[in-house]
Chain A
């Protein structure tokens, strides 16, 4: 059975880092993994591709070239299938529509999604339009996972995503905390409480470590570069939880007042 998930969260919160590390950790366990980057920048998979950018699905379609699986599915670290949707230049066209077209093409031309044990959709930003919500809406994914820090704005975005999921009848796998502030314990508690109030699972707390960025600059995930690192172990734990999670949650979004109260640092 294929586990199909999407990672949502505020732009810049670290979704792509988590997606590629979880993909690497899951593949290391012997699973077949596919990661589909839905950001027009096409940079979700670079850490799995030794820093190389792969040609996107839409770059072929833009040139009028009929895509073949080998054009758009690239083998990355530990044989992770890497696909980038791509998209228009900033400020032009419609990236959301691009996701719709590209995913339709990928599923028509390639069987990697069906053949994988885990498929991760790395979706840009919050759910802002029908196109970006498309992985959830068209049942490409079974569950969405939300990535947030303990800061107010990322949590506000996360809460909004939960509202979006509710509207779209989407289901939630849980909340992953990607640390952004110095008070680690407090941040962990904030996001854990947030998950609890959303009535979903707190999946893990990913500590902030400079090494993660250092390896990314070298075109690697920390899972690949330092398999015994503490952060790698966290990604392994996230992978296990995702692969074992069978029953999704229906999130119960918070009011803004509840959210502000929750994010207040002592």
Chain B
């Protein structure tokens, strides 16, 4: 049987690493303080983003001396300092390429930390082909510590496998160079949306968003429904992966927050396709439900991770946050319009309520 330990990696585009994936998973587990065991520059951008999302991120700041002599003492000091200063309830420690290559072992090292605060430690580096490895490693450690049940762990693993497959098929984990694109102009997309809404047809809006990105993608669904109320003549069907009660604590909270707001806005979701961490499979569920209940749709609006919704028939307007997703969506999935919500991930850090999207705001402005 072929081992995948040293599998060849046919990826051309730099992309978020397993380290970063581990850190976001820690955030979803409600970790308050993350310490990265590595050089200070490692994953700094995501470290900052996580801080905007309420997680303190520190580094053991390994230098040349630590590469040679090891940096375990420095890690212990940094964790102790962080605990003293920020008084966290749950701490996460992640490895980096530097610390892992020289053979540092995190679990035994953090056992020397003088504190009773539970610490999730993940021996992770960024050389894995699928960055979901970082998520799985974190969840397995959390499960070992009793923070995640075995059923939830298995469900998450299944979702992550599916997510990796989706990304390999049409996402950034692709071995061909895909140029980033800004997609169609928002005004052009908004005009198309408005035009469809004014007609006496049936539109299906599918929110298939990944975790916190839903705070912005939901705004597009909201804008479509608001505009439909004002000028629409036809029918709008809403599908969303906003099921509550599944996933890690932060993910559940996100769904609850959004559903509360949608209720306040009197927006009904006709079909819940899954939870916010089920975007790799909820797209398929949405497709099946549409085909069974509304095969006569006139147009589709796909939001979030549109390339995980396997529909190519009919008029399709999609909105993504992946600049490299534009070309495959247009060429392979035959989407008529693809808009890109740029820097969306950065914009949705630290928010707990639906936030205006460029596409949604353009549509509202257009029909004022």
Contact = CB atoms under 8 A, between A and B. Distances in A.
Interface of A: 58, 61-62, 64, 87-89, 91-95, 97-98, 101
B101 interface: yes
A94 B67 CA distance: 6
B68 interface: yes
Interface centre among A61, A64, A88, A89 (most CB of B within 10 A): A88
A249 to B, nearest CB: 33
Given A93-B67, A93-B69, 20 more contacts: A58-B68, A58-B69, A61-B65, A61-B68, A62-B69, A64-B65, A87-B68, A88-B68, A88-B70, A92-B72, A93-B66, A93-B103, A94-B67, A94-B68, A95-B68, A97-B68, A97-B102, A98-B68, A98-B69, A101-B68
A40 to B, nearest CB: 9
B101 A62 contact: no
A89 B67 CA distance: 13
Contacts of A87: 68
A64 B72 CA distance: 18
A62 B70 contact: no
B64 interface: yes
Interface in B63-121: 64-70, 72, 101-103
A92 B70 contact: yes
A61 B69 CA distance: 10
Interface string B40-74: 00000000000000000000000011111110100
A59 B125 CA distance: 29
B38 to A, nearest CB: 14
Which secondary structure characterizes the binding site on chain B? Answer: helix
Contacts of A89: 69
Contacts, number: 41
B64 A92 contact: no
A86 to B, nearest CB: 9
Interface in B314-338: none
Contacts of B64: 61, 97, 101
7 contacts: A61-B64, A64-B65, A92-B69, A92-B103, A93-B66, A94-B68, A101-B64
Contacts of B69: 58, 62, 88-89, 92-93, 98
B interface, size bucket: 10 to 19
Contacts of B102: 93-94, 97
A91 B103 CA distance: 8
B196 to A, nearest CB: 59
A67 to B, nearest CB: 13
A91 B70 CA distance: 9
A49 B81 CA distance: 44
Contacts of A91: 103
Contacts of B101: 94
Contacts of B103: 91-94
A97 B67 contact: yes
Nearest to A64: B65
A95 to B, nearest CB: 8
Contacts of B67: 93-94, 97, 101
A95 B65 CA distance: 11
Nearest to A93: B70
Nearest to B101: A94
Nearest to A131: B68
A64 B65 CA distance: 9
Q: Which 6 A-B pairs have the closest CB atoms?
A: A93-B70, A92-B70, A98-B68, A94-B102, A93-B69, A88-B69
A95 B103 CA distance: 11
A88 B72 CA distance: 13
A88 B103 CA distance: 12
A94 B66 CA distance: 9
A61 B67 CA distance: 12
Nearest to B71: A93
B56 to A, nearest CB: 28
A89 B103 CA distance: 13
Nearest to B64: A101
A98 B102 CA distance: 11
A30 B286 CA distance: 86
B62 to A, nearest CB: 10
Contacts of B68: 58, 61-62, 87-88, 93-95, 97-98, 101
A61 B103 CA distance: 21
Contacts of B72: 92
A4 to B, nearest CB: 23
A97 B101 CA distance: 11
A93 B101 CA distance: 9
A161 B312 CA distance: 58
A65 to B, nearest CB: 11
A205 to B, nearest CB: 37
A42 to B, nearest CB: 13
A11 B103 CA distance: 21
A191 B273 CA distance: 73
Of residues B67, B68, B102, which shows the largest number of chain A Cβ atoms within 10 Å of its Cβ? B68
A143 B240 CA distance: 68
B117 to A, nearest CB: 26
Which of A89, A94, A98 gathers most chain B CB within 10 Å?
A94
A68 B69 CA distance: 21
